[in-house]
Structure formats: structure tokens, C-alpha cells
């Protein structure tokens, strides 16, 4: 503090000297007085003025994000396949008209399917024909129905009955189609009457007539 005071006095004196036009004595007198003066400490009060500093704080917003787990359900659609078959006709069927044949009945009499001859009569007629006539007569016989009577020569395991032709040694009639149960009741050398259909006639080492659909009537 003394140093500050001395500096202050020197400044005052300098101002004083510059303002006055006095002589050197005045200056010496002033210096002498200055030296005689007691230097007293001056209590100086220092006022500290403080300028308030306004501290403005900008609030910092800290956003803390907590992830939220969101579960999105996955929907799996159920696909049902249905087979639909559509039949689309590609062709249009046009009905075809077929003319109907009208059959006009003829006045020609139907051929007689029955051979109205006994077995003996048949043999007699056959023997009376020439070879040329036989070639025409024999092909007309198949399909003819007969009713004959003859003597049994043999009955075979399959039910076939062999019948003799009267007045001959090697000729015979083969009767087929008789039920086996009926054939079992037929005895050899017995006379039977029957109906049948002529299948074929063979003239070889005797006359052989083959009959089918046989039926014993007595």
C-alpha cells in the first residue's frame, strides 16, 4: 500500500509543477514538505464489484429408448386344392337318321323243318335215290327235325345212344343231347322213340345219321 501512496503523491506533484510557472524554489519547497510529511498508511477500501454472470443452462434431454419387442403373428393360410373337371363337349353329335327297311311278307310258304318220314321210310327213300339225287338230297337234311323209333345198340359214357336202322347191318343213328341221367335208364336192345335234329348224314361203309338235341319220349 505505501508504494501506491508514493506513486499517487508523485503524480500530484507533477501535475502541480506543470500547472505552476514558479521557480525552482517552489519546487524544492514542495519536495522538502513532501519529505517532512509523515506517510500514514491510508486504509483503502477496495470494493470488489462483481458482475453477476448469468449462467443459462440449456437442459439436455436425454431420450433413452427402450426397444419394445412387437410380436407379429405369422399367418400361414391353409390352401385347399379342389380338382374340378369340366367336361366340355367339343363335337356336336348330329343324329343320323337310318332308314328303316320295311319287310314285306312274301307269299312264299316257309320250308317245312320236319321230315315226315319214319326211320324205315327214310332209309327206303335214300336207297331209291341215284348218286346225283343223293348229292342234292343229303345237303338238305341238316336242321330237319325227326321223330323216330329204333332199337338201342349201345349207350356211351357221355350219354350218347347208338340206335340201329332196321334191315341193315352197318348203318346206325347216333343220338346226342339226351341228359345223362335219362341215358342211364336206357337198356341195350330196347326200343325207344325220340325226337331230334339232323346234324349230318354220312354214307361210308353204311349209312350213318348224326342227331343232336335228342329227347326220349318213351
Which pLDDT band, with edges at 50, 70 and 90, does 86 fall under? low
Per-residue pLDDT, 8: 73
pLDDT at 26 over 50: no
Domains of the chain from N-terminus onward: 119-216 (2.40.50.140)
Using an 8 Å Cβ cutoff, are 113 and 144 in contact?
A: yes
Helix, strand, coil percentages (3-state) for the chain, rounded to 5, are 25, 20, 55
How far apart CA 174 and CA 43 sit, in angstroms, is 182
Q: Helix, strand or coil for residue 34? A: helix
Q: Write out pLDDT tens, residues 94-136.
A: 556 555 555 554 544 445 689 999 999 999 999 999 999 999 9
The partner residues of 148 in beta bridges, in order of sequence, read 194
- Region 27-45: mean pLDDT is 51
- Region 57-75: mean pLDDT is 53
84, 138, 150, 156, 203 from 127: Cα distances, Å: 80, 12, 18, 29, 11
- Region 67-92: mean pLDDT is 55
pLDDT at 72 over 50: yes
Q: What is the mean pLDDT of the chain?
A: 74
Per-residue pLDDT, 7: 75
- Region 17-25: mean pLDDT is 54
C-alpha cell at 108: 312264299
pLDDT at 213 over 80: yes
* Residue 39 vs residue 77, higher pLDDT: 77
Q: Write out pLDDT tens, residues 127-168.
A: 999 999 999 999 999 999 999 999 999 999 999 999 999 888
Q: How many CA atoms lie within 13 A of 97 on its CB side?
A: 1
Amino acid at each position: 500500500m505505501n508504494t501506491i501512496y508514493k506513486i499517487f503523491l508523485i503524480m500530484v506533484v507533477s501535475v502541480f509543477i506543470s500547472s505552476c510557472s514558479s521557480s525552482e524554489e517552489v519546487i524544492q519547497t514542495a519536495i522538502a514538505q513532501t519529505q517532512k510529511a509523515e506517510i500514514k498508511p491510508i486504509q483503502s477500501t477496495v470494493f470488489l464489484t462483481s458482475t453477476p454472470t448469468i449462467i443459462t443452462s440449456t437442459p439436455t434431454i436425454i431420450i433413452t429408448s427402450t426397444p419394445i419387442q412387437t410380436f407379429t403373428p405369422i399367418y400361414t393360410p391353409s390352401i385347399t386344392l379342389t380338382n374340378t373337371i369340366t367336361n366340355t363337349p367339343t363335337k356336336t353329335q348330329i343324329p343320323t337318321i337310318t332308314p328303316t327297311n320295311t319287310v314285306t311278307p312274301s307269299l312264299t310258304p316257309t320250308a317245312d323243318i320236319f321230315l315226315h318220314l319214319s326211320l324205315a321210310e327214310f332209309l327206303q327213300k335214300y336207297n331209291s335215290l341215284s348218286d346225283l339225287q343223293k348229292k342234292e338230297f343229303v345237303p338238305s337234311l341238316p336242321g330237319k327235325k325227326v321223330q323216330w323209333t329204333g332199337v338201342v345198340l349201345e349207350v356211351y359214357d357221355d350219354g350218347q345212344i347208338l340206335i340201329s336202322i332196321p334191315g341193315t347191318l352197318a348203318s346206325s343213328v347216333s343220338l346226342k343231347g339226351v341228359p345223362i341221367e335219362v341215358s342211364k335208364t336206357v337198356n341195350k336192345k330196347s326200343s325207344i322213340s325220340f325226337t331230334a335234329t339232323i346234324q349230318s348224314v354220312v354214307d361210308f361203309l353204311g349209312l350213318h345219321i348224326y342227331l343232336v338235341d335228342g329227347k326220349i319220349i318213351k
